[in-house]
Amino acid sequence: MENQYYPFYNTPLPYEYNALEPYIDEKTMHLHHDRHLQTYIDNLNQTMKQNPWLQRMSLVEVLYHLEKIPKEQSIEVRKNAGGVYNHRFFFETMSPDGNTQPMGRIKQGIDNTFGSYEKFERVFKDAALKVFGSGYAWLVTDGNGFYIITTQNQNTPLEFGWTPVIGIDVWEHAYYLKHYNERNKYIDDWFQVVDWKKAEEKCCGR
């Protein structure tokens, strides 16, 4: 993940805005990346500008060590640093060359934990559907096993000690223009563009 230190800027998508169609539409990608993510970046920069001591920490370090941040700053930092990290992770683990099967350690972990990729998809989709309001569903690892968790708002797996493998944004702005209130259809489409190769690189090395 590029641009880990203040000041943060909105790194380009690793593909064209329309590259994920027909599964995720171009208009949603523009709105999601250029407006929603940009707002989190702007707010995070403002918070860090007012707290210079935070500027020595990387984005990931901030999220791993939220307990060290004074309470009066921690809410804004969690919300905005989490918003930057979660969105970047979400965009970077999708690809127009998606719909591949997991490989390497991820495939082994999924098979050992869930029995098969098909069973994993069903359990993951059920978790994503059950997120009340805004948040994310994640496949995560602790270095030994693989687990499905959910987080509210812009909380990240990092603050709980997990390493994210894949994550789906189920805030309504991620899918409402195309799917309206039918989150289940959005999840099915998202699975078609998951980049398992990138996920393997991020969580388990090349």
Given a cut of 60, is residue 206 above it in pLDDT?
no
Given a cut of 70, is residue 190 above it in pLDDT?
yes
Given a cut of 90, is residue 143 above it in pLDDT?
no
Q: What is the pTM of this model?
A: 0.95
Tell me how far apart the alpha carbons of residues 170 and 177 are, in angstroms, rounded to a whole number. Answer: 13
Q: Where in the chain is the domain with CATH 3.55.40.20?
A: 104-204
The mean of the pLDDT values for the chain is 94
pLDDT above 70 coverage of the chain, percent: 99
Q: What are the beta bridge partners of residue 99?
A: none
CA distances from 167 to 6, 88, 149, 194 (A): 24, 11, 9, 9
> pLDDT class for 1, splitting at 50, 70, 90?
confident
pLDDT, position 201? 87
Q: Where in the chain is the domain with CATH 1.10.287.990?
A: 26-92
Architecture of 26-92 per CATH? Orthogonal Bundle (1.10)
Residue whose tokens read 């999840």: 187
Question: What six digits make up the tokens of 108?
Answer: 């082994």
Given a cut of 80, is residue 161 above it in pLDDT?
yes
pLDDT, position 194? 96
pLDDT, position 131? 97
pLDDT, position 2? 87
Given a cut of 90, is residue 82 above it in pLDDT?
yes
What would the pLDDT profile of 93-114 be if each residue is shown by its tens digit? 999 987 678 988 999 999 999 9
What are the backbone angles phi and psi of residue 138, rounded to the nearest 5°? -135, 145
Q: What are the beta bridge partners of residue 38?
A: none
Strand pairing category for 135-141 and 146-152: antiparallel
User: Top-level CATH class of 104-204?
Assistant: alpha beta
